[in-house]
Amino acid sequence: MPARATVTVDLGKVRANARAVVDQLPGISVVAVTKVTCGSPQVGRAMLAGGARALGDSRLENAQRLRDAGLTAPIWLLRAPPPELAGETVQLTDVSLESELETVVALDNAAAAAGRRHAIVAMVDLGDLREGMLPADLPAFLGRVNVMDHIDIAGIGVNLTCYGAIVPDEDNLGRLAELAAQSEKQLGRPLLVSGGNSGSIGMATSGRMPAAVNSLRIGETILLGVDTLTREPTLGLHLDAVTVSAPVIECFVKPSLPSGMSAQDAFGNFPTFTDRGERRRAICALGRQDAPPDGLAPVDPRVEVLGASSDHLILDIDAMDRPPALGESVTFVPTYAATLQLFTSPYVHKVFTPPA
């Protein structure tokens, strides 16, 4: 029984989820995104074994981790680097998502110095207001990049849902398809068309995806098994490929209503409480420094997450037949936000099963 908070990744379920997603997307190349796991090589291998054609990550540190582990699959850098990191970008990754000409110039120079070529996907903003140039600027951008000696224009792409929560639909992805056709005519060759992330899967599986879209960048749906537009289960995927367990460090019957004069809590909030009488509650060795408490769903439905401080997760366990013993772990399924934070926390142990 682990003596500290532990994230467990079932690599068999990750592989099975990847295979199910790939099989549901005929004609679309899947770039499997490892960033929520901080570039875990074990997870990357499982995704590739499930049929992904490449791996995507947003940080060069994670790309380095994947390369150091011996992965030779194509790696996409999903967050454009500052020009000063162009050298690392061309050394560690094969493709990067770009919208700033100055950065692409730096990549061209770095690739020349390294005796390599580097491919880019030109990103356009179609409403979500994260990265991407405005569509009107795309032809001039492509014209400038197309004459560079060490840069290949792999395709064009869009990001949706991540910042502005804009849903992929016939309008925005139809516009992407139009831009792709115009760009292919301008360059005189076919292009990869990257139609977004996990949020675009529903367009494809419902038959509404424009035929031009031939690539998606998918992470959350493979790892957590949910439709990212609704956070509901999708495609019959495993929902528990990632779990987190934390040991109980205290278990008492206490009042459910704090007593005394109240002020702000440790995070500047003014919490409210309902008097439910005396209830048995447990504290687990996990806190907001590791994960948001509202992103942890107990596997045992008799457990209720009440809240957390920096280092203590407070649970109502009154409905359990027997209280957990000290050191006994309580297990949760994390949301995307919680998974991201759990993998980033150095205080949470990571276990991969079966071993990669």
Compute the average pLDDT of residues 3-8: 96
Q: What is the pLDDT of residues 37-72, one digit of tens each?
A: 999 999 999 999 999 999 999 999 999 999 999 999
Instruction: Encode pLDDT of 297-335 as tens digits.
Output: 999 999 999 999 999 999 999 999 999 999 999 999 999
pLDDT for residue 272: 83
Residue type at position 38: C
CA 146 to chain centre: 31
Q: What does pTM read for this prediction? A: 0.95
Percent of the chain at pLDDT exceeding 90:
92
Contact 86, 110 (CB under 8 A): yes
What's the pLDDT band for 104 if we cut at 50, 70, 90? very high
Residue 231 has pLDDT above 60, yes or no: yes
Question: What's the pLDDT at 258?
Answer: 86
**pLDDT at site 228:** 96
pLDDT of residue 165: 93
Find out if CATH 3.20.20.10 is the number for domain 11-225. Answer: yes
Tokens of 111: 């690739």
Whether the Cβ atoms of residue 204 and residue 187 lie closer than 8 Å to each other: no
Instruction: Report the pLDDT averaged over residues 4-8.
Output: 97
242-353 to CATH, choices 3.30.43, 2.70.98, 2.40.30, 2.40.50: 2.40.30
pLDDT bracket for residue 274 (50, 70, 90): confident
**How far is 49 from 308, CA to CA, in rounded Å?**
38
Q: Do domains 11-225 and 242-353 have the same CATH topology?
A: no
Cβ-based neighbour number of residue 216 at 10 Å = 28
Using the predicted structure, report yes or no on whether residue 89 has a pLDDT greater than 70.
Answer: yes
What is the pLDDT averaged over residues 114-123? 98
Decide if pLDDT at 266 tops 80. no
Contact of 349 with 8, CB cutoff 8 Å? no
pLDDT-based confidence at 252, cuts 50/70/90? very high
Average pLDDT, the chain: 96
Residue 356 has pLDDT above 60, yes or no: no
pLDDT at 106: 98
The number of beta carbons lying within 10 Å of the beta carbon of residue 93 is 25
3-class SS string, the chain: CCCCCEEEEEHHHHHHHHHHHHHCCCCCEEEEECHHHCCCHHHHHHHHHCCCCEEEECCHHHHHHHHHCCCCCCEEECCCCCHHHHHHHHHHCCEEEECCHHHHHHHHHHHHHHCCCEEEEEEECCCCCCCCECHHHHHHHHHHHHCCCCEEEEEEECCCCCCCCCCCCHHHHHHHHHHHHHHHHHHCCCCEEECCCHHHHHHHHCCCCCCCCCEEEECHHHHHCEECCCCEECCCCCCCCEEEEEEEEEEEEEECCCCCCCCCCCCCCCCCCCCCCEEEEEEECCCCCCCCHHHEEECCCCCEEEEECCCCEEEECCCCCCCCCCCCEEEEEECHHHHHHHHHCCCCEEEEECCC
Catalytic-role residue among 35, 185, 254, 350: 35
Respond yes or no: is residue 35 known to be catalytic: yes
Whether the Cβ atoms of residue 193 and residue 180 lie closer than 8 Å to each other = yes
At residue 117, the pLDDT reads: 98
Domain assignments of the chain as residue spans, ordered by start: 11-225, 242-353
- pLDDT, tens digit (0-9, with 9 covering 90-100), for 120-136: 999 999 999 999 999 99
**What is the rounded distance in angstroms from the CA atom of residue 121 to the CA atom of residue 5?**
39
In this predicted model, what pLDDT tens digit does every residue of 164-205 receive, in sequence order? 999 999 999 999 999 999 999 999 999 999 999 999 999 999
Model confidence at 355, pLDDT cuts 50, 70, 90, reads low
